[in-house]
Each structure stands twice: as structure tokens, then as C-alpha cells.
Amino acid sequence: MNIQDNYLKNKKNIFFSENKDIQIHREKLINIFENDRFDKKNNESLRNINLKNFIDFKYKYLIPEETAVINNNQENSYSIVSVNGQCSSFKDDKIEITKIQDEDYDDFSKNNTIENNDHFVNLNSLFLNSGFKIVIKKNNDIKIKISNIITDDNLTIFQKNNYICEEGSSLNLIEEYENKNNSTSNILKVIKLEKNSQLNHFLIQDNSPDHNLIITTHSSCKKDSAYTQKVYNFSEGYVRNFHYSELIEANSEADLQGIFFLKNHNISNNKTFVRHLAEDCKSNQVYKGILNDRSKATYFSNTYVDQKAQKTEGYQLSKGILLSDNASYFSKPELKIYADDVKCSHGSTIGPIDENAIFYLRSRGMSKIAATKILISSFINEELSSIDNEQMAEIIQKKLVRYLSKVK
């Protein structure tokens, strides 16, 4: 079934189908698909994937409403179980959670600076069937943990989330994706940081081989705000991490980091893109990957510095270890600089594990396998030791041990 047929068949169940403006926008998106015909050659968003899995998606509309659980056991700390992309409404004097509204969709689609040819973002807008919005109210310091649960096989979730950190607020957000269903989650998160706010965003991805996760975030930072994102991808299924940040007002910061651990035939596509649109802003984009067996990864990083964005500092780094001759990692860092007073750099190093280091460790009595494991751990040591949340550090450590146990 082609995209248009699928859309028409399910239209009545898709969010905001009654909204005329949104309908017009969606028709435009269908035209993009019709004209582009998924030209894999020239489209970063389509690299390394089997399109059939995503075009002939199993669109089974079974999303139960309002089944999420929200706990607020500790002061300023919330635990949420989001079911099939949905979350119950909740409100207190610090946070507010609501179902996604027409205006949230509209707000994003009108201001969308994500390239139009990102087909997965467009599919998300076209087939939207779940989502919620969280607002952190002014000057509050909040911790939230969201467990994202998919309850059924053969389900395709098109989820949109809006996270808004109001002025002076601070949010520590941990999101877990650990699903074992044969299903696909296509999630777009639009994140807004108002003046002087801060968001530390951790994404832990650990899905089974049958679960596909396509996750896109679009964050925008106003004056003196800072967005930090750390992605830990241990999934055995396909994962796409595309993360865009815009520094729209002075003295704001974006730090986009990720580590992925691949094995078997697994594929991970990654992209970070920071647009510096104001003065005195800083950005950092660092992705590291460990690839075993026949796994494949891509990482595109991009820093755009507008001519207004003087005194920009923007750094990019990509590193990869290939544990097998059959693994591959393609990395492409880019800088586009239109201002003259900037400090920017990019670098990329990918290769097999350092044989001299292995020899050195073995010459002290360590087995080859133990030496390999210790070198893998050391490769990501900086990222692991910088996790200041004890509970999270423990979770990541356990997953790392599990990954290492399969390294031969």
C-alpha cells in the first residue's frame, strides 16, 4: 500500500484530521513523498535502511487512551509510564502534562527548520497518532523519568512530544525505551527552553531486534539557557537518532552527545545539527560508536554559524571502534560558518582497536578478551564517568557489561 492510500484509509484515526490547516500541510507532505519517491542516493535520512519496513508499515490503530501512570512520590520528582506514546493529563503547581493539541502541531510545522527531505519527520506529521506535552513551570527544579512502553506487536507509533521549560526552570529528564515488541516507534520531540532554563536530557535505548526506534528531537534555546542531551543506544533493533538544536538567543548552549553499541546485523543512523543564530553561544556534538560483527552506523554532524552569531564556540567529534572487519561506520562532520569571530572544530577517527595497546596489556598477563574489553570501556570512560546520576550510571554500566559479555 502506498503512502497516500494508507493515509486515506486511516485518516479518521489520525490526530487533528478535522483541522483544515493541518490537512493542507499533510497534503503537501504527501506530494513530497510522491515527487521524491524515496531517493536513497541523495537522502541522508534513508541511508542503510530497508525502506520496505517503513513504507509498508503495520498501521494498527490500537492506542489506548489515558493509561499512563504518573507518580510524584518524592518532592520535585516524577515518574511517568507512557503507554503507546500516550500519557494521562496531570497538573500541579510545578508541571503540567496534557495531550498534544492542534496548536502544538501547527506551531512545529510552521516553524520547522528541519530539512523538508527528512522523510521520517514527515511521516510522523502525516500519521500522527499519539503524543503529549509537558510544561515545566517558571523557576522550578524538576526530575522526571519516563518509561516508554509499547504494549502490542504490529503497532506503529507516530508520536509527537512537546517539552517546554519555562523561564528559570531546570529539568533533569531520563527517558527509557526498552521494548521487545515487533513494532515501530517514530517519535518527534519539540523542546523549547525559555530564558535562563536548563534541560539535561538522557535517552536510554535498549530495544529488542524486532523493535525499530526512530527518534528525532528539535530543541530551541533562548537567552542564557542550556540543553544537554546524552543518548545511550544499546538497542538490538534499528535506531535512528537525529537531533537538531537551534541557539536562537545569546549566551545559550547545546551539547548533543551519544554512544552506540552495535552487534550482529544491527544498524544505527545518527545525526546532530546545531544552528548558531545568536551571539556568544556554545555547542558541542560528540558521538562515539562501538561496532561488532556486521553492524553498520552513520553519523552526520553539522554546525551552522549564522553571520549574526559572533563569538560562537562550536565543536564536533566522532569516534568509532570497529571490532570486526565486516562492521562499518560512516562519519561526515560539516561546518558552515558565516561569521568571522568564531572558534569551531571538527574531527573524526574510526578504526579497529589499537593492536599496540592490546599487546601491551597482554604482555602484562591479561587475556586478549580481557584486554579488548578494558580498551572498549576506556574508550567511553570519559562519557561514563561524567554521569552524575548514580542510579543511571549503574543502569548504563550493567548494559555495558551485557554488551561486553558478547564480545569475543
The site for other proteins (CB under 8 A) is made up of 354, 356-357, 359-368, 370, 374-375, 377-382
Give the nearest distance from C-beta 256 to other proteins in angstroms. 22
Between vectors from CA 272 to CA 24 and to CA 407, what angle results, nearest 5°? 125
Instruction: For CA atoms 165, 160, 83, 232, give the dihedral sign.
Output: negative
Give the nearest distance from C-beta 354 to other proteins in angstroms. 8
Give the nearest distance from C-beta 233 to other proteins in angstroms. 20
CA distance from start to end of the chain: 43
Give the nearest distance from C-beta 359 to other proteins in angstroms. 6
The answer to whether 255 and 227 have CB atoms below 8 angstroms apart is yes
Give the nearest distance from C-beta 362 to other proteins in angstroms. 4
For other proteins, the closer of residues 134 and 396 by Cβ is 396
For other proteins, the closer of residues 171 and 380 by Cβ is 380
Give the nearest distance from C-beta 376 to other proteins in angstroms. 10
Distances (CA, A) of 347 to 233, 254, 318, 351: 21, 18, 6, 14
Question: Residue 88 CB: number of other CB atoms within 10 A?
Answer: 18
3-state secondary structure of 394: helix
For other proteins, the closer of residues 105 and 260 by Cβ is 260
For other proteins, the closer of residues 338 and 360 by Cβ is 360
The answer to whether 281 and 250 have CB atoms below 8 angstroms apart is yes
Give the nearest distance from C-beta 367 to other proteins in angstroms. 5
C-alpha closest to that of 288 among 384, 401, 144, 190: 384
For other proteins, the closer of residues 151 and 377 by Cβ is 377
For other proteins, the closer of residues 182 and 324 by Cβ is 324
Q: Sheet with 130-136: list strands edge to edge.
A: 90-91, 95-99, 130-136, 156-165, 184-193, 212-221, 239-247, 267-276, 296-305, 328-337
The answer to whether 149 and 183 have CB atoms below 8 angstroms apart is no
For other proteins, the closer of residues 342 and 353 by Cβ is 353
